[in-house]
Amino acid sequence: MNLQMGEAMHRTVFPVLSIFVLTMLVLAAVAVAPVHAQNQTQNSAQGDPSQDKPAGFLPPPSAAAVKELPWLTEKPTPAKRPAAKKATAKPAPVDTKTATTVVPDKAKPEPKKKKKAKKKIVPAKKLFGAKTRAADLRPRAIGFYSKGCLAGAARLPDDGKAWQAMRLSRNRHWGHPKLVALLQRFATEVQEKDNWPGLLMGDIAQPRGGPMLTGHASHQIGLDADIWLTPMPNRKLTRKERENISATSMLAADKVNVNEHWKPGHVKILKRAASYRSVERILVHPAIKGKLCKEAGADRKWLYKVRPYWGHHYHFHIRMKCPAGSPGCRAQKPVRADDGCGKELTWWLKRVKPKPPPKVKPKKKKKKAKKRRPKTMDDLPAECRRVLAARSSTVEAALKRGK
Ligand SMILES: [Zn+2]
């Protein structure tokens, strides 16, 4: 019976007990796992504070450490967060940079090319200023007095019986053959008919006309000439003297009258210059125009050609009409027919008269002078390119043309 009972117990209780024990073991294993994991993280946080862990896991710094290393007290999170933001923000600018640089990279070479092209543009005055001989072409004035050039120029001889050319180094005694011929005739006539010693010739034009490197807005088509108001001395000036002697101003200190250098002969020579049909106008300082108005007497028909203008008290300026055979020459608006001794002269004298200094000095406003773009070949008549490119004529031929 005892054996039977023992056997029965063994058969039923043992399997139930073994299942119970197994289940308990499994449950125990599940409960222990998180505790182990927590312990592990705690250990690692204490061992390496540099790891990005919540601040609560860091031990507070000792007072000595704070003294030595003040940055220890700084909370790592605010310090690190901006850095992290920067790090995350960095790729964005890079992206935009690469995105924006892609476009300029493609566009960049074009402006560079444009800049290079701009550099290549040479002012026309440089090109014409470099020419030392006339263009071997049929003589003609091309364009306007202040925007043009000259083909087949004649050259005024440095000396004649009645003239001497000044400032020879400038090489500006070239002009349309008709002007050069007229100047020689004029000089001869003032000497022979007006009892004038002779003329000192100033600038006419460059060998091929065109804009100049220095001075003169006009004088570009070989139809303008400056003649000194200083009478020619009765001896031949040396080359050096022709460079250095300065012209005589006829202007009085009050700027509206002529001074003691003015001679009655000046009226005669200016009247003679105006008498030539081919002369379109003559430019003189307003003070000189005023003197002529006073001295002209009854014959005033010629006065209209003599025009007041700035400067022109050391020399007068003769301008010739567009000559025949120069279809490309553009005429200037004709001068008015009255003698110009009335309102116009008054207006000019008012302009040149020095103004009394103001009682209270006005604050000077510095005006930035606008830089004028120099004229290029594109600004001149197209024919001027041919004039520039033409082969040079000999000086002999150019001298011959003016006779
Ligand atoms: Zn001039």
Compute, in angstroms, the gap from residue 359 CA to the centroid of ligand 1.
37
Compute, in angstroms, the gap from residue 198 CA to the centroid of ligand 1.
19
Compute, in angstroms, the gap from residue 317 CA to the centroid of ligand 1.
5
Last residue of a domain, one of 120, 150, 179: 120
- Residue 30 within a domain: no
State how many domains the chain has: 2
Whichever domain contains 152, its CATH number is: 3.30.1380.10
pLDDT of residue 363: 72
- Bridge-based pairing of strands 224-228 and 147-151 is unpaired
Last residue of a domain, one of 84, 104, 120: 120
pLDDT of residue 30: 52
Q: Are residues 85 and 219 in the same domain?
A: no
- Contacts within 8 Å (CB) and 24+ apart, 53-56: none
Compute, in angstroms, the gap from residue 225 CA to the centroid of ligand 1.
6
Q: Are residues 391 and 270 in the same domain?
A: yes
Compute, in angstroms, the gap from residue 283 CA to the centroid of ligand 1.
8
- Residue 9 within a domain: no
Last residue of a domain, one of 90, 120, 150: 120
pLDDT of residue 20: 62
Residues 6+ apart with CB under 8 A from 234: 197
* Pairwise CA distance, residues 211 & 148, whole Å: 8
CA angle 392, 393, 399 (to 5 degrees): 140
Q: Are residues 228 and 89 in the same domain?
A: no
Q: Are residues 95 and 198 in the same domain?
A: no
Compute, in angstroms, the gap from residue 369 CA to the centroid of ligand 1.
24
- Residue 359 within a domain: no
C-alpha R_g of the chain: 49
Q: Are residues 79 and 191 in the same domain?
A: no
Residues with CB under 5 A from ligand 1 (ion): 226, 317
Compute, in angstroms, the gap from residue 312 CA to the centroid of ligand 1.
8
Q: Are residues 173 and 80 in the same domain?
A: no
Q: Are residues 110 and 144 in the same domain?
A: no
Which parts of the chain register pLDDT below 70? 1-119, 362
Compute, in angstroms, the gap from residue 311 CA to the centroid of ligand 1.
9
- Provide the token pair at 197: 């010693």
pLDDT of residue 21: 60
Compute, in angstroms, the gap from residue 300 CA to the centroid of ligand 1.
24
pLDDT of residue 347: 97
- Residue 311 within a domain: yes
Q: Name the residue among 345, 399, 395, 403 with its Cα closest to residue 133.
A: 395
Q: Are residues 149 and 94 in the same domain?
A: no
- Residue 135 within a domain: yes
Q: Is 92 exposed, middle or buried (CB count within 10 Å of its CB: 0-12, 13-18, 19+)?
A: exposed
- Residue 28 within a domain: no
Q: Are residues 270 and 329 in the same domain?
A: yes
- Residue 255 within a domain: yes
Counting every residue, how long is the chain? 403
What's 317's DSSP letter? E
Q: What is the pLDDT of residues 24-71, one digit of tens each?
A: 665 655 554 444 444 443 433 333 333 333 333 344 445 544 444 444
What's 249's DSSP letter? P
* Pairwise CA distance, residues 201 & 249, whole Å: 15
Q: Are residues 115 and 228 in the same domain?
A: no
Given a contact cutoff of 8 angstroms between Cβ atoms, the answer to whether 359 and 103 are in contact is no
Other C-beta atoms closer than 10 Å to the C-beta of 193 total 11
Compute, in angstroms, the gap from residue 2 CA to the centroid of ligand 1.
154
Whole domain around residue 327: which residue ranges?
A: 124-354+376-401
- Residue 193 within a domain: yes
Q: Are residues 111 and 253 in the same domain?
A: no
| Counts of helices then strands in the chain (DSSP H, E) | 13, 10
Given a contact cutoff of 8 angstroms between Cβ atoms, the answer to whether 207 and 133 are in contact is yes
Compute, in angstroms, the gap from residue 226 CA to the centroid of ligand 1.
5
Compute, in angstroms, the gap from residue 205 CA to the centroid of ligand 1.
10
Q: Are residues 274 and 180 in the same domain?
A: yes
Helix %, strand %, coil % of the chain (to 5): 45, 10, 40
What is the SS3 string spanning 102-157? Answer: HHHHHHCHHHHHHHHHHHHCCCHHHHHHCCCCCECCCCEEEEECCEEEEECCEECC
Compute, in angstroms, the gap from residue 340 CA to the centroid of ligand 1.
20
DSSP lists the bridge partners of residue 151 as 140
* Greatest extent of the chain over all pairs of C-alpha atoms, in Å: 181
Residues 6+ apart with CB under 8 A from 278: 178, 182, 320, 321, 323
Q: What is the pLDDT of residues 63-122, one digit of tens each?
A: 544 444 444 333 434 444 544 444 444 444 444 444 444 444 445 555 555 555 566 789
Classify residue 297 as left (phi > 0), alpha (psi -120 to 50) or beta.
left
